[in-house]
Structures are given as C-alpha cells and as structure tokens.
Amino acid sequence: MTAEMLEAFNQEHFPQVDHLGLKVDHVDDHSITVSMTTTERHLRPGGTVSGPTMMELADAAMYLLLLAQIGPVALAVTTSLNINFLRKPEPGKMIAKGRILKLGKTLATGEFSLFAGDPDAPVAHVTATYAIPPKR
C-alpha cells in the first residue's frame, strides 16, 4: 500500500485516531516514516510529550508499516509493545522511523525510533509485535 492508501485506510477504519494528525512521510518494502505534530493536548506537566502519545504514535506507525506489507487487514492487532524512553521530547513535530524485523504468517515484529527536535537523537526506542489474522 502507498502512503496515500495507508492514510485513507486509517481515516476510514480508525477515525478515533484523527486527533493525532498522522502523516505517512515515507513507506517502502521494509520501512516507514510517520509524523505528527504534538499540541497542548499531548503534553504532560512540565511541557513534555506524554508517554501514551509516544506509544500511540509508535503503535499506529507499526500498524501502518504492517499494512504496507500485507495489504488492508483491519483485524491485525498489537500483541506486544515495549518502549524505552531515552530523553525528554519537546513539543512540536514528532517522527517515528521504523522497519520490519520479521514478517511471518501469523506475527510481525518491528522496531522504531521516535524523534522530536534533534533528528540524530531519538527520544524513544520501541519494539512491537502484531498478530496477523488467518486468511479466510
């Protein structure tokens, strides 16, 4: 699926994440770059982007990356997500850059780095696994 197809699928099937304003900046056979602009609603006290916001971005990016590989499978679901927070993310544009580590018949695992501000200093590292429903 192309970036445009992924965004359209997401808007049609998951309008509840419209508030993130996700943009697929790049997608290919093994990787994806997804961005969003954080606003006041994404911040916690002290002006840092909240952990749940970063997890939501990473989870959505993994889902979109998986769909780019296997097609529009709405029932693929997260089975695990591990996030390591590395430094304080500043509000503004946040970017998730990820790649597929393994794509099997029933599970897919990916790895992401999240960036905010400095493109060379990740604010979080994420690994995620998705279950792929059986074909009927």
pLDDT per position as a tens digit, 97-114? 999 999 999 999 999 999
Read off the pLDDT band of 127 (50, 70, 90): very high
136 within domain boundaries: no
**At residue 13, does pLDDT exceed 90?**
no
CATH of the domain at 50: 3.10.129.10
Task: Calculate helix-pair angle for 3-13, 51-70, nearest 10 degrees.
Answer: 120
pLDDT per position as a tens digit, 56-84? 999 999 999 999 999 888 788 999 999 99
Quote the Cα angle for 40-41-43, to 5°.
Answer: 65
39 within domain boundaries: yes
**At residue 7, does pLDDT exceed 70?**
yes
List residues bridging with 100 in a β-sheet: 110
DSSP state of 71: -
Domain count, the chain: 1
97 within domain boundaries: yes
